[in-house]
A and B are shown apart, each in its own frame.
Chain A
Amino acid sequence: MSAATTTTSARPRHLLDFTEWSPERLNAILDNADTMLQVLDRPVKKVPALQGMTVCTAFFESSTRTRTSFELAARRMSADVMTFAAGASSASKGESLRDTVEVLTQYKVDAYIVRHHAAGAAHLVARYSGKPVINAGDGRRAHPTQALLDAYTIRQEFGSLEGKTVAILGDVRHSRVARSNAELLPKLGAKVVLCGPATLLPAELGTLPGVTLTSDPQAAVRGAHAVMALRLQQERMGGGFLGSLQEYADTYQVNEGLMQEAESGAIVLHPGPMNRDVEISHEAADGPRSRILKQVENGQAIRMSVLYHLLVGRE
């Protein structure tokens, strides 16, 4: 596929994951997000950068928040937005992903934002569409704009990611957010500690550069500059991954007590939506360390920056 043959120095055509993205390119996206935040502070929150272009949000799995964030980002850059919400319907009708994408290409779309329940689906859309694709979450594989907005939020706080430690707690196994952060943050100079019950913590992730694993939450959070709680999906209980929600919350919940172990200025992050008092306590979610609402605001700026980078700022 085209993605695999691009060299790291070239400007990547898609944002599927971070495999082909150099730290310089990634920092350029973060730098540009500063400008986008300024746009969002103006009375007229719109720039003409993508005028005349059409961006398609192809959501094969529903996610109102992520879609809204992307669509607003595109509109603030003056792009037309086309919404394609397939759910699982076209697959159940027997239509292949390729067929769906080939139909969409007839609408002369300039870029695709793809959310899908299967890992790798965004790669397939990139292969079949021939246009830039932004992965808005594919199965457990990747959610790169979420990781970028996390990185941006941490950088906003500390000026840089160099030498920082980020602890990520929860259902790491099923989390695309954890995987994308584990890929991105070390590229930007940070260390990542993944923490959760052994059943939700695949040993192989510990082989990634700059990533360590532990099932001890105190050890994970010790010395951390940012602590991220992952959404615990209730349905995991049926899979036998956990004894009980209560047991999980007692052990792995991000709360004031656990945050005592972190660096004094440490911040709390959560990709949302939250199960309050399960993976995160009310106090931690709403307290002075929390940057959870800031993440939402930054998310829009990051998505504007990514769209600009892929669609306009090409050499």
Chain B
Amino acid sequence: MQSNAALEYDYSVAKLFTYTTILFGFLGMLIGTLIASQLAFPELNYLLGEYGTFSRLRPLHTNIVIYGFTLSGVWATFYYSAQRVLKVSMAESKFLMFIGKFHFWLYFVGALIAVITLLMGITQAKEYAQFEWPIDIVIVLIWVLWGVAMFGLIGIRREKALYISMWYYIACFLGIAMLYLFNNMSVPTYFVAGGLGNVLHSVSMYSGTNDALVQWWFGHNAVAFGFTVPIVAMIYYFLPKESGQAVYSYKLSLLSFWGLMFVYLWAGSHHLLWSTVPDWMQTMGSVFSVVLILPSWGSAINMLLTMKGEWNQLTENPLIKFMVLASTFYMLSTLEGPIQAIKSVNAIAHFTDWIPGHVHDGVLGWVVFMIMAALFHMAPRMFKREIYSKKLLEAQFWLQTTAVVLYFTSMWIAGITQGMMWRAVDEYGNLMYSFIDTVTVLHPYYAIRALSGVMYLTGFLMFAYNMIKTMTSSRELSEEPQFRSPMA
């Protein structure tokens, strides 16, 4: 093939991951809405016997959203955009095509097994690292397959220099690999004990405070390398593509990328402020969390300035709206996090609902918005059809934006109320409230959150419907759109 001829990219793997993004997104948000409702209306705990309690479903919710929805989205966009920025088609290499498909199917089967074991209560009880050792091994295999696909594509690329998005995908791959391996080190008990008990059971290699350190070094940075880094990769590719604008500043990209790489991992210990972890480590976590504002805002500002002089697109193109709002929520979330990591604020915020509030303005506002916008951008190019409905997109945007605002405002109020009530003392220095007082007072906020969940889920269903209609019955396109995605 001549280097200047138009390449036919192969989207078969990207399409497969697009389907699971929609499927797991729906499941994760459905369970999320259910468990949010359970806190407001506890009778809902008894829908599915022992498998339906809040405690059993909560890890299912987080894992499906993180490893089901987000990773599917990451891989859908990776298998789409990597070909384009590297100027190479998956179809050129039978080997890479096989690896890509194997990657998907092993992932899909692994995800189903993971869901079943979590429902059964087979768990290491480490947050976001619940899976027992056999599933961990499958996960490592899946990760290696992605690595082979990525570096394989890089190996046969025509474009010499790696585009910014590729930096972030590489970082996502390396970061998660390192963190996941170290945090999941465990010893299966069955073999050491001479064939006794459950073969799936294992004990952590680390104990007590050490275990906590490794866990939150992982937990915090899994957010970094799962929810920040690959989503930044997406916005660096899709916003310039959709808007037809060049990235505002190369220097700012450099600064924010290498800054983020260096600073992010120091911040993990901010999850352990006021715990039994040594003070110097807590202070490091606190200080670096504040420093982290710089590289985070660097990327976000770089993206917003990419729209310089083109702000009219915001009113004309709902996909630009999604991406710009995603950047804005990223800025909000990366300012809120450092504030919570200040020791005196953390003393109130830790253990309260302000923390899920923070997580969700990040995930709902930044991660989900960006992934949905990316899939909408990809759909007309992958399926050669225009987006089914612009009206539906607009309605979805406003419904979900309202839902996110309701979510985080209710959880801010709930969290700060909780934190203040726990520490409130009367004039004689006695505690003013029993614990249950601090639970019952939160009912209205939990009800508001449940409502926001229903709204957001409805918005996601509108997204899913719009995507499926786009794939199957929208007007066909004769040629690939250059910039703005066509929509009816």
Determine if chain A interacts with chain B. no
